[in-house]
Amino acid sequence: MTNFPWDKQKLDVATSNNDTLSSFYRYKEQLLDGYLSLHYKWQHSQLIAGVRADGVSFSAYTPQIESGTASGKISKNNGGYLNPLPSVTFMHEFPKNFILHAAWSESVGRPRPNDIAQAQKINCSDDAKNGAECTLSRGNPNLRPRRANNFDVSLDKYFDHGRGVFSVAYFDKMIKDDIYTLSDYQILDGVKTQVTEPLNANKSSLMGVEVSVIDRKIKGPWNWSFDVSANGTWMRGRMNYTASEGTYKLHQLPDQPNYIFNSAVTWHIPQVRGAIRATFSYTPKYLTDPAANPWQNSGYGELASLDLGAWHDITDNIRFKYEVYNLVGAHRTYRMGDRLQQISEKDYYGRSIYFEVVVN
């Protein structure tokens, strides 16, 4: 693009003004939160029961679009809710450094401001009137917050004089009005248009198991020490949603991979007053945006990332840090299809190298 004649390009004033006006939404929110809890403790057990009041009132100011053009007018939409959210947590200490945690709670997740207040934006090709396809994105002022009943239980085993812990956890969430972004086709002004907007799902659920291990200050030769950590999570999601072609059932929640893995190793070197750390993460391909036709579902491809960092203290107040992100040059792929079997885009990010000087 170095030879592109940028100096000969002319500003489309009408399009620029329309983009500015249609993007100028505002969202004002007021929060009210309160919490009441009761703690009861035995010799080796503890029970915490409580309720949190979660109140929200908002005003969304959305630019008005008339005949596909921003008019400069603003419409106001008011909304809000007040929810009591109870919770119960139980903890018990077993012999030999085993600790059991169990919890049940209700929670609520608010929509993002742009999910509610964003104006509709339409983009058509020059021959749209002859039946070409248009695309339209818009917010949803009637979007409801997602609500969930959550159950979690975990068993932790502490070892290495309390510096290490091995944990196995199970979680289960029943979600009402989950928020997702749907891409659907509608006929608007006689033109087949792809409409993208946030909606509430009919019913969703998510359950999974997480296994993790952490150990710090593992002794090595020459006064070296090591910190190690690793965790893996397996998840199974379900979501029912309705589109123009019917009702569909997903076997995965949007933005939730079926499993993930993370690990890190830190090598502490007192001879240089510093350390070296390597981190690794892996996610398989996963869905991000369901569509009215499952073959148009979109998501990310699998990604394995390795990062490397090091630091050492020059003085008590000055530290040098060196970081290399994406050491192996992994690239992100974007996929489509009912099983995300088609690659629609591939991005090559390369490596990123940073040097920092920290002064305390």
* pLDDT on residue 128: 44
- 228 has pLDDT over 50: yes
Q: Which residue ranges make up each domain of the chain?
A: 217-360
pLDDT tens digits, 91-114: 999 999 999 999 999 999 889 888
Q: What pLDDT score was predicted for residue 155?
A: 97
Record the pTM: 0.81
Cβ atoms of 280 and 306 closer than 8 Å:
yes
pLDDT for 205 equals 94
Q: How confident is the model at residue 185 (pLDDT cuts 50, 70, 90)?
A: confident
Mean pLDDT of the chain: 89
